Amino acid sequence: MIFGKIEYLNLLPFHTFMKRFTKSSSQKMSMHFKKGVPADINQKFLTRRVDAAFISSIKARKFNNIGLGIIAKKEVLSVLVIPDAVSKNDKESATSNVLAQILNIKGEVLIGDKALKYYLSDGERIDLAKVWYEKHQLPFVFALLCYHKDQKLYKRIRTNFLRSKVKIPQYILQEASQRTGIEKKEILRYLEYISYEVDLKAKRGLKKFYQKVDNL
């Protein structure tokens, strides 16, 4: 099995969990990972070069998912628009570019770890998830964990992940900090803004997003 791995900080708890899960199960020898940014992983999933991955919501609509996602209850800190810049999509993104269009926010779209780093620099920015929440009083679902096969396995992963209180080891935090240039304490603070369970409110938020997409 091949899992598409997006190495953004927002998935650090999930990847920490998966590292333990594969070590303690029969999946250790059979699960392999392909790394990439969201747009790249989307394409690999659509062409079946990966069996499962967190897929951008804009691309995930027609695929099976297990009720795990990357969700901002209110603000998210890592999906921004720089308002004074020339309007420009982020090539790593799919959903966030469309969200900026839906919200009619002009400027340069910035996502992921580089966006979080920009946020922490106190540059002028608009948090797209925050604007979405202010308009609709709903969370925004940026991605869903979708799969082509092995439904039972991924449902087991979901159940175990949501039951786990994932504590990220210091060495993993240190590696993430060195890779991104973001301090460990800021990484942990940022992760407090991210949720993973697609609950009723998240489903309503996703439905609202798809309605807006259909009306573009």
Residue 158's domain spans which residues? 2-199
134 is a domain residue: yes
pLDDT at 94 over 90: no
What is the pLDDT averaged over residues 174-203?
A: 97
CA distances in angstroms from 17 to 33, 43, 136, 170, listed in the order given: 14, 25, 32, 14
Strands (E), the chain: 2-5, 32-35, 52-56, 65-72, 79-82, 108-111, 126-127, 140-147, 194-197
Taking the C-alpha atoms of residue 9 and residue 184, their distance in angstroms, rounded to an integer, is 11
pLDDT value of residue 85: 79
What is the pLDDT averaged over residues 13-26?
A: 82
Write out pLDDT tens, residues 119-144: 999 889 999 999 999 999 999 999 99
Structural domain count of the chain: 1
- Count of beta carbons in the 10 Å neighbourhood of residue 160: 15
206 is a domain residue: no
98 is a domain residue: yes
Taking the C-alpha atoms of residue 153 and residue 34, their distance in angstroms, rounded to an integer, is 18
Write out pLDDT tens, residues 65-84: 999 999 999 999 999 999 98
195 is a domain residue: yes
Assign residue 39 the CATH number of its domain.
Answer: 3.40.190.10
Report which of 69, 70, 111 is spatially closest to residue 88, judged by C-alpha positions: 111
